[in-house]
Amino acid sequence: MTEQPEEEINLPDLSVEELLELMMDDLYDGYADEVVTEVQEALARGMTPYDVLTQGLVAGMDIVGADFRDGILFVPEVLMAAKAMKAGMAVLRPLLAETGAPKIGKMVIGTVKGDIHDIGKNLVGMMMEGAGFEVIDLGINNSAEKYLAAIEAHQPDILGMSALLTTTMPYMRVVIDALKEKGIRQNLIVLVGGAPLNAAFAEDIEADAYCRDAAVAVETAKKLMALRKART
Ligand code: B1M
Protein backbone atom coordinates (compact mmCIF):
# COMPACT_ATOMS: atom_id res chain seq x y z
CA MET A 1 0.00 0.00 0.00
CA THR A 2 1.10 3.58 -0.59
CA GLU A 3 2.43 5.71 2.27
CA GLN A 4 0.05 8.29 3.73
CA PRO A 5 1.03 11.55 1.99
CA GLU A 6 2.22 14.26 4.35
CA GLU A 7 0.47 17.18 2.69
CA GLU A 8 -3.20 17.99 3.34
CA ILE A 9 -5.49 16.14 0.93
CA ASN A 10 -8.40 18.07 -0.49
CA LEU A 11 -11.02 15.39 -1.20
CA PRO A 12 -12.98 17.36 -3.83
CA ASP A 13 -9.76 17.59 -5.92
CA LEU A 14 -9.54 13.81 -6.21
CA SER A 15 -11.04 11.75 -9.02
CA VAL A 16 -13.44 8.98 -7.97
CA GLU A 17 -10.68 6.42 -8.57
CA GLU A 18 -8.25 8.39 -6.37
CA LEU A 19 -10.92 8.77 -3.70
CA LEU A 20 -11.55 5.01 -3.64
CA GLU A 21 -7.81 4.37 -3.57
CA LEU A 22 -7.47 6.71 -0.58
CA MET A 23 -10.41 5.00 1.15
CA MET A 24 -8.72 1.63 0.72
CA ASP A 25 -5.40 3.01 2.00
CA ASP A 26 -7.04 4.59 5.05
CA LEU A 27 -9.00 1.42 5.77
CA TYR A 28 -5.77 -0.55 5.54
CA ASP A 29 -4.14 1.88 7.99
CA GLY A 30 -7.14 1.74 10.34
CA TYR A 31 -8.05 5.45 10.04
CA ALA A 32 -11.75 5.22 10.90
CA ASP A 33 -12.54 8.96 10.86
CA GLU A 34 -10.91 9.41 7.47
CA VAL A 35 -12.76 6.41 6.04
CA VAL A 36 -16.07 7.88 7.24
CA THR A 37 -15.29 11.23 5.56
CA GLU A 38 -14.30 9.50 2.32
CA VAL A 39 -17.44 7.35 2.33
CA GLN A 40 -19.50 10.52 2.73
CA GLU A 41 -17.58 12.21 -0.07
CA ALA A 42 -18.12 9.24 -2.40
CA LEU A 43 -21.86 9.31 -1.66
CA ALA A 44 -21.92 13.07 -2.27
CA ARG A 45 -20.36 12.38 -5.67
CA GLY A 46 -23.39 10.23 -6.53
CA MET A 47 -21.85 6.78 -6.02
CA THR A 48 -24.45 4.26 -4.85
CA PRO A 49 -24.03 2.93 -1.29
CA TYR A 50 -23.52 -0.54 -2.78
CA ASP A 51 -20.68 0.63 -5.03
CA VAL A 52 -18.99 2.47 -2.15
CA LEU A 53 -19.28 -0.71 -0.09
CA THR A 54 -17.93 -3.08 -2.71
CA GLN A 55 -15.43 -0.88 -4.57
CA GLY A 56 -14.11 0.91 -1.47
CA LEU A 57 -14.60 -0.92 1.82
CA VAL A 58 -14.76 -4.57 0.70
CA ALA A 59 -11.96 -4.05 -1.84
CA GLY A 60 -9.82 -2.52 0.94
CA MET A 61 -10.58 -5.39 3.29
CA ASP A 62 -9.56 -7.87 0.59
CA ILE A 63 -6.07 -6.33 0.60
CA VAL A 64 -5.98 -6.49 4.41
CA GLY A 65 -6.98 -10.17 4.19
CA ALA A 66 -4.24 -11.00 1.70
CA ASP A 67 -1.56 -9.20 3.75
CA PHE A 68 -2.78 -10.86 6.96
CA ARG A 69 -2.48 -14.22 5.24
CA ASP A 70 1.00 -13.37 3.99
CA GLY A 71 2.24 -12.27 7.41
CA ILE A 72 2.59 -8.61 6.42
CA LEU A 73 -0.15 -7.51 8.82
CA PHE A 74 -0.85 -8.87 12.30
CA VAL A 75 -3.95 -9.14 14.47
CA PRO A 76 -3.82 -5.63 16.03
CA GLU A 77 -3.52 -4.00 12.59
CA VAL A 78 -6.30 -6.16 11.19
CA LEU A 79 -8.49 -5.17 14.15
CA MET A 80 -7.83 -1.48 13.43
CA ALA A 81 -8.76 -2.04 9.78
CA ALA A 82 -11.91 -3.91 10.84
CA LYS A 83 -12.84 -0.97 13.08
CA ALA A 84 -12.40 1.44 10.18
CA MET A 85 -14.50 -0.85 7.99
CA LYS A 86 -17.26 -0.90 10.59
CA ALA A 87 -17.19 2.90 10.86
CA GLY A 88 -17.65 3.17 7.10
CA MET A 89 -20.37 0.54 7.13
CA ALA A 90 -22.25 2.48 9.81
CA VAL A 91 -22.66 5.34 7.31
CA LEU A 92 -23.86 3.00 4.58
CA ARG A 93 -26.12 0.80 6.70
CA PRO A 94 -29.22 3.05 6.81
CA LEU A 95 -28.86 3.85 3.12
CA LEU A 96 -28.65 0.20 2.14
CA ALA A 97 -31.62 -0.62 4.34
CA GLU A 98 -33.71 2.29 3.04
CA THR A 99 -36.16 0.58 0.73
CA GLY A 100 -39.49 1.40 2.35
CA ALA A 101 -40.69 -1.88 0.83
CA PRO A 102 -42.87 -4.24 2.86
CA LYS A 103 -40.84 -6.98 4.55
CA ILE A 104 -40.52 -9.96 2.24
CA GLY A 105 -39.29 -12.42 4.85
CA LYS A 106 -37.50 -12.81 8.14
CA MET A 107 -33.94 -14.00 8.69
CA VAL A 108 -32.04 -14.99 11.80
CA ILE A 109 -28.29 -14.75 11.19
CA GLY A 110 -25.22 -15.35 13.31
CA THR A 111 -21.60 -16.45 13.28
CA VAL A 112 -21.13 -19.97 14.60
CA LYS A 113 -19.65 -21.07 17.91
CA GLY A 114 -15.92 -20.51 18.32
CA ASP A 115 -15.80 -17.85 15.61
CA ILE A 116 -15.64 -14.11 16.23
CA HIS A 117 -15.48 -12.87 12.63
CA ASP A 118 -18.49 -10.69 11.95
CA ILE A 119 -17.70 -8.25 9.14
CA GLY A 120 -19.01 -10.48 6.34
CA LYS A 121 -22.02 -11.54 8.40
CA ASN A 122 -22.84 -7.89 9.14
CA LEU A 123 -22.61 -7.08 5.45
CA VAL A 124 -25.00 -9.88 4.61
CA GLY A 125 -27.41 -8.63 7.28
CA MET A 126 -27.23 -5.09 5.91
CA MET A 127 -27.80 -6.19 2.33
CA MET A 128 -30.70 -8.43 3.35
CA GLU A 129 -32.30 -5.51 5.20
CA GLY A 130 -31.76 -3.39 2.13
CA ALA A 131 -33.55 -6.02 0.05
CA GLY A 132 -36.60 -5.86 2.33
CA PHE A 133 -35.97 -8.68 4.80
CA GLU A 134 -36.35 -8.31 8.55
CA VAL A 135 -33.02 -9.38 10.04
CA ILE A 136 -32.39 -10.63 13.56
CA ASP A 137 -28.65 -10.61 14.13
CA LEU A 138 -27.40 -12.93 16.85
CA GLY A 139 -23.83 -11.67 16.66
CA ILE A 140 -20.84 -13.99 17.02
CA ASN A 141 -19.97 -17.27 18.73
CA ASN A 142 -23.44 -18.84 18.59
CA SER A 143 -24.12 -22.29 19.96
CA ALA A 144 -26.81 -24.54 18.47
CA GLU A 145 -28.92 -23.77 21.54
CA LYS A 146 -28.74 -20.03 20.82
CA TYR A 147 -29.82 -20.54 17.21
CA LEU A 148 -32.69 -22.79 18.32
CA ALA A 149 -33.86 -20.30 20.95
CA ALA A 150 -33.81 -17.46 18.41
CA ILE A 151 -35.72 -19.55 15.87
CA GLU A 152 -38.35 -20.36 18.47
CA ALA A 153 -38.62 -16.71 19.53
CA HIS A 154 -38.68 -15.12 16.05
CA GLN A 155 -40.06 -17.85 13.75
CA PRO A 156 -37.86 -16.80 10.79
CA ASP A 157 -38.18 -18.02 7.20
CA ILE A 158 -34.40 -18.17 6.84
CA LEU A 159 -31.50 -19.17 9.05
CA GLY A 160 -28.16 -17.72 7.96
CA MET A 161 -24.87 -18.97 9.39
CA SER A 162 -21.41 -17.54 8.90
CA ALA A 163 -18.00 -19.11 9.57
CA LEU A 164 -14.57 -17.80 8.61
CA LEU A 165 -12.39 -20.52 10.07
CA THR A 166 -11.87 -24.02 8.78
CA THR A 167 -12.06 -25.12 12.41
CA THR A 168 -15.51 -23.57 12.99
CA MET A 169 -17.28 -24.31 9.71
CA PRO A 170 -18.05 -27.94 10.76
CA TYR A 171 -20.18 -26.49 13.56
CA MET A 172 -22.79 -25.60 10.94
CA ARG A 173 -23.52 -29.31 10.63
CA VAL A 174 -24.08 -29.47 14.40
CA VAL A 175 -26.70 -26.72 14.12
CA ILE A 176 -28.43 -28.35 11.14
CA ASP A 177 -28.48 -31.69 12.97
CA ALA A 178 -30.03 -29.93 15.97
CA LEU A 179 -32.74 -28.49 13.70
CA LYS A 180 -33.44 -31.97 12.38
CA GLU A 181 -33.59 -33.42 15.87
CA LYS A 182 -36.13 -30.77 16.84
CA GLY A 183 -38.15 -31.60 13.73
CA ILE A 184 -37.99 -28.03 12.38
CA ARG A 185 -35.38 -28.34 9.62
CA GLN A 186 -38.01 -28.42 6.85
CA ASN A 187 -39.58 -25.18 8.15
CA LEU A 188 -36.48 -23.16 7.39
CA ILE A 189 -34.34 -22.13 4.46
CA VAL A 190 -30.76 -22.59 5.68
CA LEU A 191 -28.15 -20.41 3.96
CA VAL A 192 -24.47 -20.61 4.81
CA GLY A 193 -21.49 -18.45 3.91
CA GLY A 194 -17.94 -17.49 4.79
CA ALA A 195 -14.61 -17.50 3.01
CA PRO A 196 -13.58 -21.15 3.63
CA LEU A 197 -16.94 -22.66 2.55
CA ASN A 198 -18.06 -23.85 -0.86
CA ALA A 199 -21.15 -25.31 -2.49
CA ALA A 200 -20.01 -28.91 -1.95
CA PHE A 201 -19.65 -28.29 1.78
CA ALA A 202 -23.12 -26.72 1.94
CA GLU A 203 -24.58 -29.71 0.14
CA ASP A 204 -22.73 -32.11 2.41
CA ILE A 205 -24.12 -30.57 5.59
CA GLU A 206 -27.57 -30.34 3.97
CA ALA A 207 -27.86 -26.57 3.96
CA ASP A 208 -30.14 -25.19 1.24
CA ALA A 209 -27.43 -23.08 -0.34
CA TYR A 210 -23.92 -21.69 -0.09
CA CYS A 211 -23.71 -17.93 -0.63
CA ARG A 212 -20.39 -16.69 -1.99
CA ASP A 213 -21.06 -13.09 -1.00
CA ALA A 214 -23.73 -10.77 0.32
CA ALA A 215 -25.23 -10.09 -3.09
CA VAL A 216 -25.55 -13.83 -3.76
CA ALA A 217 -27.12 -14.24 -0.30
CA VAL A 218 -29.83 -11.72 -1.22
CA GLU A 219 -30.49 -13.29 -4.64
CA THR A 220 -30.59 -16.80 -3.18
CA ALA A 221 -32.86 -15.78 -0.31
CA LYS A 222 -35.30 -14.12 -2.71
CA LYS A 223 -35.26 -17.10 -5.08
CA LEU A 224 -35.81 -19.70 -2.36
CA MET A 225 -38.50 -17.60 -0.68
CA ALA A 226 -40.36 -17.35 -4.00
CA LEU A 227 -40.09 -21.13 -4.51
CA ARG A 228 -41.37 -21.73 -1.00
CA LYS A 229 -44.32 -19.37 -1.49
CA ALA A 230 -45.15 -21.04 -4.81
CA ARG A 231 -45.30 -24.42 -3.06
CA THR A 232 -47.73 -23.27 -0.34
CO1 B1M B 1 -9.23 -13.73 11.09
N2 B1M B 1 -8.77 -15.21 9.92
N3 B1M B 1 -8.59 -14.72 12.63
N4 B1M B 1 -9.53 -12.09 12.08
N5 B1M B 1 -9.45 -12.86 9.44
C6 B1M B 1 -9.14 -15.12 8.52
C7 B1M B 1 -10.51 -15.71 8.29
C8 B1M B 1 -7.99 -15.96 7.82
C9 B1M B 1 -8.42 -16.57 6.48
C10 B1M B 1 -6.74 -15.06 7.68
C11 B1M B 1 -5.60 -15.77 7.01
O12 B1M B 1 -4.88 -16.51 7.63
N13 B1M B 1 -5.43 -15.53 5.73
C14 B1M B 1 -7.65 -17.02 8.92
C15 B1M B 1 -8.45 -18.32 8.84
C16 B1M B 1 -7.63 -19.47 8.34
C17 B1M B 1 -8.40 -20.72 8.31
O18 B1M B 1 -9.26 -21.02 9.06
N19 B1M B 1 -8.05 -21.51 7.33
C20 B1M B 1 -7.94 -16.24 10.19
C21 B1M B 1 -7.44 -16.57 11.46
C22 B1M B 1 -6.47 -17.74 11.52
C23 B1M B 1 -7.80 -15.88 12.62
C24 B1M B 1 -7.37 -16.16 14.06
C25 B1M B 1 -7.34 -17.63 14.47
C26 B1M B 1 -6.00 -15.46 14.22
C27 B1M B 1 -5.33 -15.66 15.54
O28 B1M B 1 -5.84 -15.28 16.55
N29 B1M B 1 -4.18 -16.28 15.44
C30 B1M B 1 -8.42 -15.37 14.87
C31 B1M B 1 -9.68 -16.23 15.12
C32 B1M B 1 -10.47 -15.82 16.28
C33 B1M B 1 -11.79 -16.59 16.34
O34 B1M B 1 -12.65 -16.37 15.53
N35 B1M B 1 -11.92 -17.46 17.31
C36 B1M B 1 -8.76 -14.29 13.91
C37 B1M B 1 -9.12 -13.00 14.32
C38 B1M B 1 -9.42 -11.99 13.44
C39 B1M B 1 -9.66 -10.56 13.89
C40 B1M B 1 -10.37 -10.43 15.23
C41 B1M B 1 -8.32 -9.87 13.96
C42 B1M B 1 -10.45 -9.98 12.66
C43 B1M B 1 -11.98 -10.14 12.78
C44 B1M B 1 -12.66 -8.83 13.08
C45 B1M B 1 -14.15 -8.96 12.94
O46 B1M B 1 -14.70 -9.72 12.14
N47 B1M B 1 -14.81 -8.18 13.74
C48 B1M B 1 -10.01 -10.94 11.53
C49 B1M B 1 -10.14 -10.65 10.17
C50 B1M B 1 -10.66 -9.27 9.81
C51 B1M B 1 -9.80 -11.60 9.17
C52 B1M B 1 -9.70 -11.41 7.65
C53 B1M B 1 -8.42 -10.63 7.40
C54 B1M B 1 -10.83 -10.69 6.97
C55 B1M B 1 -12.20 -11.30 7.20
C56 B1M B 1 -13.20 -10.32 6.66
O57 B1M B 1 -13.79 -9.57 7.43
N58 B1M B 1 -13.33 -10.27 5.32
C59 B1M B 1 -9.66 -12.92 7.14
C60 B1M B 1 -8.91 -13.10 5.84
C61 B1M B 1 -9.84 -13.29 4.66
O62 B1M B 1 -10.98 -13.71 4.77
N63 B1M B 1 -9.31 -13.03 3.51
C64 B1M B 1 -9.28 -13.65 8.35
C65 B1M B 1 -14.19 -9.28 4.65
C66 B1M B 1 -15.62 -9.84 4.56
C67 B1M B 1 -16.45 -8.82 3.79
O68 B1M B 1 -15.60 -11.06 3.84
O69 B1M B 1 -16.09 -12.44 5.89
O70 B1M B 1 -15.58 -13.56 3.65
P71 B1M B 1 -16.16 -12.44 4.42
O72 B1M B 1 -17.74 -12.36 4.09
C73 B1M B 1 -18.26 -12.40 2.78
C74 B1M B 1 -18.55 -13.80 2.27
O75 B1M B 1 -17.73 -14.80 2.82
C76 B1M B 1 -20.01 -14.01 2.51
O77 B1M B 1 -20.53 -12.70 2.31
C78 B1M B 1 -19.63 -11.76 2.91
C79 B1M B 1 -19.81 -10.41 2.27
O80 B1M B 1 -19.67 -10.44 0.87
N81 B1M B 1 -20.49 -14.46 3.82
C82 B1M B 1 -21.77 -14.94 3.96
C83 B1M B 1 -19.92 -14.44 5.04
N84 B1M B 1 -20.76 -14.90 5.96
C85 B1M B 1 -21.92 -15.20 5.34
C86 B1M B 1 -23.10 -15.72 5.84
C87 B1M B 1 -24.14 -15.93 4.96
C88 B1M B 1 -23.99 -15.67 3.58
C89 B1M B 1 -22.79 -15.18 3.08
O90 B1M B 1 -25.28 -16.39 5.50
C91 B1M B 1 -26.36 -16.50 4.71
- Residues 171-198 have pLDDT tens digits of 999 999 999 999 999 999 999 999 999 9
pLDDT band at 199 (very low <50, low <70, confident <90, very high): very high
- Nearest C-alpha to atom 12 of ligand 1 is from which residue? 69
pLDDT score at 86: 85
Question: What is the tens place of the pLDDT at every residue in 122-162?
Answer: 888 877 886 778 899 999 999 999 999 999 999 999 999 99
Atom of ligand 1 nearest to the CA of 58: 67
Q: What is the mean pLDDT of residues 48-71?
A: 86
Whole-number average pLDDT of the chain: 91
How many whole angstroms separate alpha carbon 10 and alpha carbon 157? 47
Q: Which residue has the higher pLDDT, 100 or 27?
A: 27
Atom of ligand 1 nearest to the CA of 164: 7
Q: Does 4 have pLDDT greater than 60?
A: no
How many whole angstroms separate alpha carbon 160 and alpha carbon 136? 10
Distance 164 CA to ligand 1 centre (A): 5
Distance 221 CA to ligand 1 centre (A): 22
Q: Does 3 have pLDDT greater than 70?
A: no
